Structure 1
Amino acid sequence: MTGINWEDPFCGEGNNCFRIGTDPDGNAYIAIAGQEDHYLTDTREALRTLIHDIKAGKADHLL
């Protein structure tokens, strides 16, 4: 898909590298680096909430 502005990859220690992107229509995308053609998409607000919750430790039980 064209129009997605991908950020530099974020790599956790020993984990896959992820990329976050946005488009001019206000959508947000997340994908595994190198597999940007297979992404999840939602609103920027939903992505912002996801990142905030992860930083707050609300997803630690998933690790």
Structure 2
Amino acid sequence: MPDITWEDPFCAEGSACFRLGTDPQGNAYIAVAGAEDTYLTDSREALRSLILGIKAGEADHLL
């Protein structure tokens, strides 16, 4: 498993919690809180775009 530094969980009202993480090579990760051993990885920019879309209400169905 890569050396991932996880941020505190983000929990929306009535939704599952998820965590974001990064590694020293510049990759970004997203996982359901409590299941960090099963994660998605992509570039930081790709996951940043996803999170900005969620926060803007464009993808709230993903949560």
Structure 1 SS opposite 2:24 = coil
Identity %: 73
Counterpart residue number, 2:31: 31
The unaligned stretches of length 5 or more in structure 1 are: none
Runs (4+) of structure 1 exceeding 6 A deviation are none
3-state SS of 2:51 partner? helix
- Counterpart position of 2:3: 3
3-state SS of paired residue (2:25)? coil
- Please give the TM-score of this superposition, normalised by the length of structure 2: 0.85
Structure 2 gap ranges (5+): none
- How far off its partner does 1:12 sit? 1.1
Tell me how large the CA RMSD over aligned residues is: 1.4
Instruction: Pick closer, same or farther for the CA change 1:16–1:41 going to 2, 3 Å.
Output: same
Q: Which moved more, 1:29-38 or 1:50-59?
A: 50-59
